[in-house]
Structure 1
Amino acid sequence: MSLDWPRLQRALAIETERGFCNLQGNTYRFNEYLHQALTQAPLQQLPPQVRDRWQETAAAYARYDDLSPSQRQHLVVTTRQLLHDVHQQLTRSAPRPRPLDQGLKTLHGIGEQLRCVVGDRTAAQLAKLGLYTVADLIYYFPRDHIDYARQVPIRQLQAGETVTLVGQVRRCKCFTSPRNAKLTILEIILQDRTGQIRLTRFYAGARYAQRGWQEQQKRLYAPQTLVAASGLVKQTKYGLTLEEPELEVLEHPGAEIDSLTIGRIVPIYPLTEGVSPDVIRRAVARVLPLVQGYPDPLPQALCQHHQLIPLDTALRYIHFPPDQTQLSLARRRLIFDEFFYLQLGLLQRRRQQQQQVSVPLKPQGELIEQFYQRLPFQLTGAQQRVVAEILADLERPIPMNRLLQGDVGSGKTVVAVIALLAAVQSGYQGALMAPTEVLAEQHYRKLFEWLTPLHVPVELLTGSVRTAKRRQILDQLATGELPVLVGTHALIQEGVRFQRLGLVVIDEQHRFGVAQRAKLQAKGVLPHVLTMTATPIPRTLALTLHGDLEVSQIDELPPGRRPIQTTILGRGDRCCAYDLIRREVAQGRQAYIILPLVEESEKLDLKSAIAEHQRLQTEIFPNFRVGLLHGRMASSEKDATIQAFAQGELDILVATTVVEVGVDVPNATVMLIEHAERFGLSQLHQLRGRVGRGAQQSYCLLLLNSARNDAAKQRLNVLAQSQDGFFIAEMDLRLRGPGEVLGTRQSGLPDFALASLVEDQDCLEAARSAASELIAQDPELRNYPLLQAVLQQRRDRLLETMMN
Structure 2
Amino acid sequence: REAHHFLPLDEATRQIHFPDSWESLEAARRRLAFDELLLIQLGVFKQRQLWKSRQGTPVQVNRQVVDDFIHALPFPLTNAQRRVLDEILADLSAASPMSRLLQGDVGSGKTVVALAAMVAVIADGGQAAILAPTEILAEQHYHSMRALLEKAGYTGKIAIRLLTGSTRATERQKILDGLADGRVHLLVGTHAIIQRDVSMHNLRLAVVDEQHRFGVEQRGLLRQKGTNPHMLVMSATPIPRTLALTLYGDLDLSIIDEMPPGRQEVKTRWLGPQERERAYAFLRAQIEKGRQAFIICPLVEESDKIEAKSAIEEHQRLQTKIFPDLKLGLLHGRMSGKEKEAVMADFRDGKTHILVSTAVVEVGIDIPNASVILIEGANRFGLAQLHQFRGRVGRGQHQSYCLLLSDNTTDEARARLEVMERTSNGFELAEEDLKLRGPGDFFGTRQSGLPSLKLVKLSDTRLLEEARQVARTLFEDDPDLSKPEHKLLARSLHTFWAKIAEPS
The two structures have a TM-score, normalised by structure 1, of 0.57
Pair 1:512–1:605, CA change in 2 (3 A): closer
* Counterpart position of 1:383: 81
Give the letter for the 1:513 counterpart: G
Give the letter for the 2:130 counterpart: L
Distance 2:271 2:392 in 1: 19
Of the candidates 308, 311, 322, which is equivalent to residue 5 of structure 2?
308
Larger-gyration structure (1/2)? 1
Query: After superposition, where does 1:24-103 map in structure 2 within 5 Å?
Result: none
Query: After superposition, where does 1:764-775 map in structure 2 within 5 Å?
Result: 764-773=464-473, 775=475
Pair 1:332–1:649, CA change in 2 (3 A): closer
Q: CA deviation at 1:529?
A: 0.6
Matched, 1:346 2:48: no
Give the letter for the 1:434 counterpart: A
Give the letter for the 1:725 counterpart: G
Distance 2:103 2:306 in 1: 35
* Counterpart position of 1:512: 214
User: Do the aligned residues in 2 keep the contact of 1:318 with 1:327 (CA within 8 Å)?
Assistant: no
Matched, 1:800 2:486: no
Query: After superposition, where does 1:476-515 map in structure 2 within 5 Å?
Result: 476-515=178-217
The residue matched to 1:627 in structure 2 has which SS? Answer: strand
> Structure 1 vs Structure 2: percent identity of aligned residues?
50
User: Do the aligned residues in 1 keep the contact of 2:299 with 2:381 (CA within 8 Å)?
Assistant: no
Pair 1:723–1:607, CA change in 2 (3 A): farther
Query: After superposition, where does 1:261-276 map in structure 2 within 5 Å?
Result: none
Of the candidates 544, 548, 551, which is equivalent to residue 246 of structure 2?
544
User: Do the aligned residues in 2 keep the contact of 1:432 with 1:487 (CA within 8 Å)?
Assistant: yes
Q: CA deviation at 1:565?
A: 1.2
Which deviates the most, 636-645 or 690-699? 636-645
The residue matched to 1:379 in structure 2 has which SS? Answer: coil
Give the letter for the 2:242 counterpart: T
Give the letter for the 1:509 counterpart: Q
Pair 1:308–1:728, CA change in 2 (3 A): same
* Counterpart position of 2:120: 422
Query: After superposition, where does 1:169-318 map in structure 2 within 5 Å?
Result: 304=3, 307-308=4-5, 313=8, 315-316=10-11
Query: After superposition, where does 1:590-629 map in structure 2 within 5 Å?
Result: 590-596=292-298, 608-629=310-331
- Per-residue Cα deviation, 1:288-312 (whole angstroms, up to 9, x for no partner): xxxxxxxxxx7xxxx54xx435x7x
Distance 2:490 2:79 in 1: 43
Matched, 1:393 2:393: no
Of the candidates 697, 700, 704, which is equivalent to residue 399 of structure 2?
697
Pair 1:791–1:437, CA change in 2 (3 A): same
- Per-residue Cα deviation, 1:121-159 (whole angstroms, up to 9, x for no partner): xxxxxxxxxxxxxxxxxxxxxxxxxxxxxxxxxxxxxxx
Of the candidates 457, 470, 475, which is equivalent to residue 757 of structure 1?
457
Pair 1:636–1:683, CA change in 2 (3 A): same
* Counterpart position of 1:432: 130
- Per-residue Cα deviation, 1:620-652 (whole angstroms, up to 9, x for no partner): 334444333333444344333323322333332
Pair 1:779–1:368, CA change in 2 (3 A): farther
Distance 1:795 1:697 in 2: 51
Matched, 1:713 2:411: no
Q: CA deviation at 1:766?
A: 1.8
Distance 2:404 2:439 in 1: 23
Of the candidates 630, 635, 643, which is equivalent to residue 337 of structure 2?
635
Give the letter for the 2:216 counterpart: V
Give the letter for the 2:240 counterpart: P
The residue matched to 2:258 in structure 1 has which SS? Answer: coil
The residue matched to 1:339 in structure 2 has which SS? Answer: helix
Unpaired runs of at least 5, structure 2 = none
In the alignment of these two chains, the number of paired residues is: 492
User: Do the aligned residues in 1 keep the contact of 2:45 with 2:249 (CA within 8 Å)?
Assistant: yes
Q: CA deviation at 1:740?
A: 2.1
Distance 1:322 1:472 in 2: 68
User: Do the aligned residues in 2 keep the contact of 1:383 with 1:415 (CA within 8 Å)?
Assistant: yes
* Counterpart position of 2:365: 663
Q: CA deviation at 1:696?
A: 2.5
User: Do the aligned residues in 1 keep the contact of 2:40 with 2:247 (CA within 8 Å)?
Assistant: no
- Per-residue Cα deviation, 1:107-129 (whole angstroms, up to 9, x for no partner): xxxxxxxxxxxxxxxxxxxxxxx
Matched, 1:355 2:53: yes
Q: CA deviation at 1:772?
A: 3.3
Distance 2:38 2:335 in 1: 45
* Counterpart position of 2:34: 336
The residue matched to 2:130 in structure 1 has which SS? Answer: strand
User: Do the aligned residues in 2 keep the contact of 1:592 with 1:652 (CA within 8 Å)?
Assistant: yes
Distance 1:531 1:613 in 2: 36
Distance 1:535 1:802 in 2: 20
* Counterpart position of 1:473: 175
* Counterpart position of 2:159: 457
Q: CA deviation at 1:537?
A: 1.6
* Counterpart position of 2:232: 530
* Counterpart position of 1:728: 429
* Counterpart position of 1:557: 259
Give the letter for the 2:209 counterpart: D
Q: CA deviation at 1:709?
A: 4.5
Distance 2:229 2:385 in 1: 32
Q: CA deviation at 1:441?
A: 0.8
The residue matched to 2:193 in structure 1 has which SS? Answer: helix
User: Do the aligned residues in 2 keep the contact of 1:596 with 1:606 (CA within 8 Å)?
Assistant: no
The residue matched to 2:393 in structure 1 has which SS? Answer: coil
Pair 1:751–1:638, CA change in 2 (3 A): closer
The residue matched to 1:742 in structure 2 has which SS? Answer: coil
- Per-residue Cα deviation, 1:431-457 (whole angstroms, up to 9, x for no partner): 111111111111111111122431211
Pair 1:333–1:736, CA change in 2 (3 A): closer
Q: CA deviation at 1:799?
A: 2.2
* Counterpart position of 1:676: 378
* Counterpart position of 2:440: 739
User: Do the aligned residues in 2 keep the contact of 1:315 with 1:330 (CA within 8 Å)?
Assistant: no
Q: CA deviation at 1:790?
A: 4.1
User: Do the aligned residues in 2 keep the contact of 1:749 with 1:801 (CA within 8 Å)?
Assistant: no
User: Do the aligned residues in 1 keep the contact of 2:92 with 2:230 (CA within 8 Å)?
Assistant: yes
Distance 2:79 2:469 in 1: 30
Distance 1:530 1:636 in 2: 28
Pair 1:624–1:366, CA change in 2 (3 A): farther
- Per-residue Cα deviation, 1:215-241 (whole angstroms, up to 9, x for no partner): xxxxxxxxxxxxxxxxxxxxxxxxxxx
- Per-residue Cα deviation, 1:165-200 (whole angstroms, up to 9, x for no partner): xxxxxxxxxxxxxxxxxxxxxxxxxxxxxxxxxxxx
Distance 1:718 1:388 in 2: 34
Pair 1:798–1:635, CA change in 2 (3 A): closer
The residue matched to 1:566 in structure 2 has which SS? Answer: strand
The residue matched to 1:486 in structure 2 has which SS? Answer: strand
User: Do the aligned residues in 2 keep the contact of 1:747 with 1:802 (CA within 8 Å)?
Assistant: no
Distance 1:480 1:456 in 2: 11
User: Do the aligned residues in 1 keep the contact of 2:299 with 2:307 (CA within 8 Å)?
Assistant: no
Give the letter for the 1:772 counterpart: R
Q: CA deviation at 1:509?
A: 1.5
Pair 1:647–1:326, CA change in 2 (3 A): closer
- Per-residue Cα deviation, 1:70-109 (whole angstroms, up to 9, x for no partner): xxxxxxxxxxxxxxxxxxxxxxxxxxxxxxxxxxxxxxxx
Unpaired runs of at least 5, structure 1 = 1-297
Give the letter for the 1:760 counterpart: D
The two structures have a TM-score, normalised by structure 2, of 0.89
Q: CA deviation at 1:317?
A: 6.4
Pair 1:790–1:605, CA change in 2 (3 A): closer
Distance 1:620 1:342 in 2: 50
The residue matched to 2:442 in structure 1 has which SS? Answer: helix
